[in-house]
Structure 1
Amino acid sequence: MSHEQHQELIQMLHSCMTACNHCFDACLKEEDVKMMSECIRLDRECADICNYLEQALSRNTPFVTELASVCAKICEACGNECNKHAHNHCQKCAEACFKCAEACRNVAS
């Protein structure tokens, strides 16, 4: 499958990466940073895998199914963690993560 066929997923991955990076930065500025530590860690994990999969798709990786499956798991975990926090940036990040996880699962199946 060429990267053109994954254009929607590439855009979803980029949006999720951007939301995670924003959440990561905003969490670091929260009053109780220690309480946000798992959210910060998962934001990094999620942004990194989304960025990697976006790049891999653009170069027509033969590992689409495997990478999309891993990305879905990480996006889901990040979304679940962000959902625990009432901060607007966390809620927006959770929404982006869940959408991205669903898109990745669709490609992985």
Structure 2
Amino acid sequence: MAHQYQSCMEACVRCAEECESCGNKCLAQMLECARLCIDCADQCWSCAAFMSRDSRFITELCGVCTTICDACAAECEKHQNEHCRRCAEECRKVAASAGTRQQPA
């Protein structure tokens, strides 16, 4: 049986991986981008973990995740490199997905 949050958890994991990769590549020349990528990765890993155990705090965490992913995507979209483009794309997917999460009945 598929987990009720499977697609969102997978999106969070992909986003966290891209954010970590982008953050590492941006560290030297784009400090704000790197900081946002690291914050976003941490939040996405956390959301995926909380969803995997059906935490009662999913709704609140997804709200924060949406805010951070939107900010990270906006910053990454300012840059013309491939790793920032991929990161922004994954952030937008998570923001769209996490923004629709509802507390399980």
TM over 0.5: yes
Matched-pair identity in %: 39
Partner-residue secondary structure (3-state), 1:5: coil
Give yes or no for the alignment of 1:18 onto 2:12: no
Paired amino acid for 1:37: L
Aligned to 2:8: 9
Alpha-carbon separation, structure 1, partners of 2:40 and 2:91: 8
Aligned to 2:55: 61
Partner-residue secondary structure (3-state), 2:7: helix
Instruction: Give unmatched runs, 5+ long, in structure 2.
Output: none
Aligned to 1:107: 101
How is 1:57-96 mapped onto 2 (pairs within 5 angstroms)?
A: 57-96=51-90
Q: CA RMSD in A?
A: 1.5
Alpha-carbon separation, structure 2, partners of 1:80 and 1:91: 10
Misfit runs of 4+, over 4 Å:
none
Deviation, structure 1 residue 83: 0.3
Paired amino acid for 1:43: C
**Number of residue pairs matched by the alignment:** 102
Paired amino acid for 1:20: C
Give yes or no for the alignment of 1:40 onto 2:39: no
Deviation, structure 1 residue 47: 0.1
Give yes or no for the alignment of 1:50 onto 2:49: no
Deviation, structure 1 residue 108: 4.7
More helix by share: 1
- The TM-score, its normalising length taken from structure 1, stands at 0.88
